[in-house]
Amino acid sequence: MSSSLDALPPALAKIVQRFQRASDPKRRYEQLIWYAQKLPEFPEVGKIPENKVPGCVSQVYVTANLQDEKVLFQGDSDSQLTKGLLALLIEGLNGLTPTEIVQLTPDFIQETGLNVSLTPSRANGFYNIFKTMQKKALECKLEQ
């Protein structure tokens, strides 16, 4: 395991390792679709402007709630690949504290190998989703 993986929260490190084992881009896309299909249903009432991720070509929505000092995210997207990226982030970040989430950098996307497979607009979408999730985690902390 690389040292940068050691710095990641366990759930995120596990996801990165899963993508590292998928050596070809087609397998990585299949994995993203799998994550998208695993994502729990997102309530229609959550699809409001305040929950929309800015700067995404796809429609992406994210909500965050604090439960026992830990952030729990929910989300949805109208694009399967973007939904997969969102699901990957939700699975990797759920259950962390707002401080842990805010301290993360999105560099782990390089570790997955996805960055070379993603179109520039999808890579940009990934960063926008990540930044929105950080912002929402911080808002949870401030509302305490």
- Would you name the residues annotated as active-site residues? 56
Cα distances (Å, whole numbers) of residue 41 to 6, 46, 106, 131? 32, 11, 25, 22
Q: Which amino acid belongs to residue 9? A: P
Q: Is 98 left (phi over 0), alpha (psi -120 to 50) or beta?
A: alpha
Contact (Cβ atoms closer than 8 angstroms) between residue 53 and residue 132:
yes
SS3 track for 71-121: EEEEEEECCHHHHHHHHHHHHHHCCCCHHHHHHCCCCHHHHHCHHHHCCHH
Contact (Cβ atoms closer than 8 angstroms) between residue 28 and residue 22:
yes
